Structures are given as structure tokens and as C-alpha cells.
Amino acid sequence: MSLLIRKGVVFVLGLLWSVTALATEQIITVNPSDITVGAEETQVSFDVQYATNPEGEQTTGIGVNLHYDSSVLEFVSMTLNSDVSDDLGSGNKDEESDEDGDSNTDKVAYVAYASTGGEFPELQFIKDGAIVTLEFPVSLYTITFNKANANFEGTTTLNFVTEVGPGNTAQADSFDILFKGDEVPPSISLADDVTEFTIEAQGPTTSSENAVFDAVEAAITVSDNKDTLTIDDVIFSSEEGGEDEELFFFKRDDNDRLSEDSRFIR
């Protein structure tokens, strides 16, 4: 039996194959799954989570390397979850070779876990005098980056490279962080004699998958800001009503048609 550890990745050789006679899928994800940084924000944090399929399986460990572009992201910290035992070390380092196959990445945040008894992670333990049962997915760590380039707008891709227990497989998908630029919401002005109008979406969306709903939500606010639209509703027409002009909202039906039956007044 032998154990070989390389900085940033853990290799476990010949460790209790009988413990994992059936292959386990070791799964790495991030939380939240959609990571967006606003124009005024300078820092982003998220959790890297661990799970298995079948759920709750123990293995001999895992090594998790997170590759990123240091021209966009500046490493600040990695805070390990103390409930997950058997870590062999963690840190941040230069990429030694192009392990993730992405020429845009040049740095690696890493952590490695190993259990010679095939008991990673520990499923039940005592904490603060109470018996705790580990729930999946479990956070391995919280990682924090600064925005390295104040002028950067767009997405940067981060890639996982993993090492798993003997006979096991890994699922660890790449993901993007979106850095948003300054946004000026569109506005609509109506002449005094206009009693009806229609709205069409133009250009890319920024928050939802439905261009019409997205544009309307961004564009329309009642003058005293008492109401805003949700993506479930679309503004269709207005009618004269003096200072308290009424705005009529219509919900779209399953056939994507405006339904008079669902009209309500704000």
C-alpha cells in the first residue's frame, strides 16, 4: 500500500479497492450555479460543493484543482469547511502545465483529501457535543476573488481538474463568472394624447430568457414607482386616466397569446 501526494492534486494508489468495488461518481459543483458580479462590485465569493452518486458514498478521497485567469480574477482566500475531514492541504499556485486544456487560465486554487480507510467524507461526527450527520451536497470550501481588472466586462471561464478514488469517475463541469458593465435601463415617454402603445424587445437580454418580458421589466415603471413588472406579465396598453392613468397588464396564455381574461389593473 502506498500514498503519493503532489501539491495541488492527490493520488491514492491501491487504497482499499474492496471499499469501492462499485464505481462511485464524485461530483463537484458551485453554489450559486449562476455567478454574476455587478458593475459596482469588486469581489465575488462562491462555494465549491461535493456530492456522490449514489448519494452518501464514502471513498478514498478527491483532489480538486480550480483553474482560473489571473488577469480577471485575483485570489483572496479559500476557507475550508471544518466539517469535511481528511484534507491534506490547500492553497493557490501557478499553473504548472496546461492540465485543463485552456490557454486562458494560468492559476490554480487547490485542495486535496485522502482517507486510507476509504471513509471520505466522514458521514457522522460529534460537533459542539452533538452528533451531526453530513448532508449532501456539502460545501468543501468558500473561495473569494477580487476583480483584477476594474475595466473588465464579460465572462471568464473557470475549469475543474480532479483526481478521484480507484475505479471512480468524476463530474466537475466548467463554469462562467459574468462581470456586468454599467447598465442604463431603457425608458419610455408618452405624449399627452397617446392612449395606447405596444412594446417590442430589441437587442440582447440581460436577466431572463424571454426578450419581451426582459425588456418590458427593465423599461416600464409607473411614474410614482409604486409598481414594476415581473417576467410573468407584459404591459399591453394604457388608457387615459388623468394624473392616475391606469396601466393594463395582460398575462400570456400557454399559446403565447395575450389573454383578456387575465387582465388586471395597477
Nearest to 238 by CA among 192, 205, 181, 179: 192
Whether 203 contacts 212, CB under 8 Å: no
Q: Give the pairing of strands 175-179 and 35-37.
A: parallel
**Does 70 score more than 60 pLDDT?**
yes
DSSP states of 69-96 as a string?
-TTTEEEEEEEE-TTS--EEEEEEEE-S
Termini Cα distance of the chain: 72
* Confidence at residue 242, expressed as pLDDT on a 0 to 100 scale: 40
Q: Are 89 and 116 members of one domain?
A: yes
* Confidence at residue 35, expressed as pLDDT on a 0 to 100 scale: 96
Q: Are 99 and 192 members of one domain?
A: no
Q: Are 133 and 64 members of one domain?
A: yes
**Does 173 score more than 90 pLDDT?**
yes
- How many Cα neighbours within 13 Å face the side chain of 93? 13
Q: Among 153, 179, 205, give the residue marking a domain's end.
A: 179
Q: Burial of 88 by CB count in 10 Å (0-12 exposed, 13-18 middle, 19+ buried)? A: middle
Q: Are 84 and 174 members of one domain?
A: yes
**Does 95 score more than 60 pLDDT?**
yes
Query: Considering the chain, what percentage of its residues have pLDDT values greater than 90?
Result: 53
Domain that holds residue 193: 184-266
Whether 159 contacts 67, CB under 8 Å: yes
Q: Are 162 and 204 members of one domain?
A: no
Q: Among 114, 145, 179, give the residue marking a domain's end.
A: 179
Q: Are 132 and 202 members of one domain?
A: no
Q: Are 86 and 174 members of one domain?
A: yes
* Confidence at residue 32, expressed as pLDDT on a 0 to 100 scale: 96
Q: Among 179, 204, 220, give the residue marking a domain's end.
A: 179
- How many Cα neighbours within 13 Å face the side chain of 263? 11
**Alpha-carbon separation of residue 121 from 16, 133, 166 (angstroms):** 15, 11, 15
Domains held by the chain: number: 2
- How far is it, in rounded angstroms, from Cα 88 to Cα 75? 20
Query: What tens digit of pLDDT does each residue of 8-27 get?
Result: 444 433 333 344 456 899 99
**Does 197 score more than 60 pLDDT?**
no
Q: Are 107 and 213 members of one domain?
A: no
Q: What is the pTM of this model?
A: 0.65
Q: Are 47 and 20 members of one domain?
A: yes
Residue 151 sits in a domain whose CATH number is 2.60.40.680
Q: Are 49 and 66 members of one domain?
A: yes
Higher pLDDT among residues 91 and 232, named by residue: 91
Q: Are 33 and 102 members of one domain?
A: yes
Count of CB atoms situated within 10 Å of the CB of 4 = 9
Q: Are 192 and 74 members of one domain?
A: no
